[in-house]
Amino acid sequence: MSPQERFFSPETLAAFKAGPWRMTDAWDRMGVRLAGPPVAPDAALDMPSEPIVRGSIQVAGDGVATVLLADHQTTGGYPKIATVLDCDLDGLVQLRPRDAVAFQKVSPGQAVGLARTAALGAAAYRASLSRAG
């Protein structure tokens, strides 16, 4: 999930994982807002700004989760409930409004394994293109 889980109650974290989530039509290159259960932080939003990565799922005081995309801000002061793996972001951004989205908690080791598997698949695909040409 997130190193900022401390901002969310166990019930809120369970609601985030359980969903259901849907893409909304509120999106641009900075991010996409998700429709789903409210996941408002339990703590005061007085945390200092800190770096943000592409794929962070940031939650403002209104409890709406937003997946940050290619042109996201470089820092932010809202807690992040989770992060979408980079190898899954291309698929996420191809979804349409009202398409379903599900989140699954993975360990850091699993995340590395998934990223390596995706990189190997991409490399094999690029190699097949150069052989075909």
pLDDT digit string (tens) for 73-132? 999 888 999 999 999 999 999 999 999 999 999 999 999 999 999 999 999 999 999 886
- pLDDT at position 16 is 94
Please count the residues of the chain: 133
Tens of pLDDT, residues 4-18: 888 899 999 999 999
Higher pLDDT, 54 or 49: 54
**Any idea where the domains of the chain sit in the sequence?**
5-105
Q: Are 41 and 65 in contact (CB under 8 A)?
A: no
CATH architecture of 5-105: Beta Barrel (2.40)
- Of 32, 36, 35, 37, the C-alpha closest to 58 is 32
Q: How far apart are CA 63 and CA 116, in angstroms?
A: 33
Confidence (pTM): 0.88
Report residue 10 as tokens.
């166990």
Share the mean pLDDT of the chain. Answer: 91
